[in-house]
Amino acid sequence: MNPILNKNLFFVKEHRGFFKAANNYDVIDPLTQQTIMQCREPDLGFFTKIFRFSEYKTMTPFNIIITDATGTPILRVTRGFTLFRSVVEVFDEKEVLIGRFRQRMLSIGGKFEVQDTMGQTLCMLKGKWSSWEFNFTQGNFALAKVSKKWAGLGRELFTSTDNYMLEITETVPPN
């Protein structure tokens, strides 16, 4: 695994756009203000682009490539078309599956099992859509937190740009 993933703080900044179909983010080290990773969704299909502007947006597939600042691949995050239960797969830089996020059926607010390659649950990702805060937990222990950062009224109302902070607790071992 790339050592850049050993950090505990990541500021995820979505690219601005009024009519954008692709998911594009920069990941910034909040301590140095340097862009350390880029998340891009290249090669969107025609129908995926069309459905991204409809009520079916959350069902569309995605294939996000995460690279370091020089363009070297670090991770790939992918999901196929989904109707009821989303399964997101994560691959390392060698295209080896390293884990999955499997959505729990009938969960209110969003609940995912974070699984290893064998399908064993490692922790849970639980969230409240109303507060835009999500927590990775293992039993009663908090492992990490994702929180939405307010971008101001103009950006929040007139663009679909979101910013997030990922904070991983110091007790989580590297990689």
- Give the pLDDT of residue 37: 98
pTM for this entry: 0.87
CB 155 within 8 A of CB 129: no
C-alpha distances out from residue 165 to 24, 69, 131, Å? 16, 19, 14
- Please report, as a single letter, which amino acid is at residue 142: A
Fold of 3-168: Porin (2.40.160)
Question: Longest C-alpha distance within the chain, in Å?
Answer: 45
Instruction: Output 141 or 21, whichever has higher pLDDT.
Output: 141
Instruction: Output 21 or 140, whichever has higher pLDDT.
Output: 140
In the chain, DSSP assigns E strands to 9-14, 25-29, 34-40, 62-68, 73-79, 87-92, 97-103, 111-115, 121-128, 133-138, 141-149, 163-168
Q: How confident is the model at residue 20 (pLDDT cuts 50, 70, 90)?
A: confident
CA distance 26 to 48: 22
pLDDT in tens, 88-115: 999 999 999 999 999 987 666 679 999 9
CB 50 within 8 A of CB 56: no
Residue whose C-alpha is closest to residue 168's, from 1, 46, 10, 2? 10
pLDDT in tens, 54-82: 888 888 999 999 999 999 999 999 999 98
CA distance 78 to 86: 11
- Give the pLDDT of residue 162: 80
CA distance 40 to 60: 16
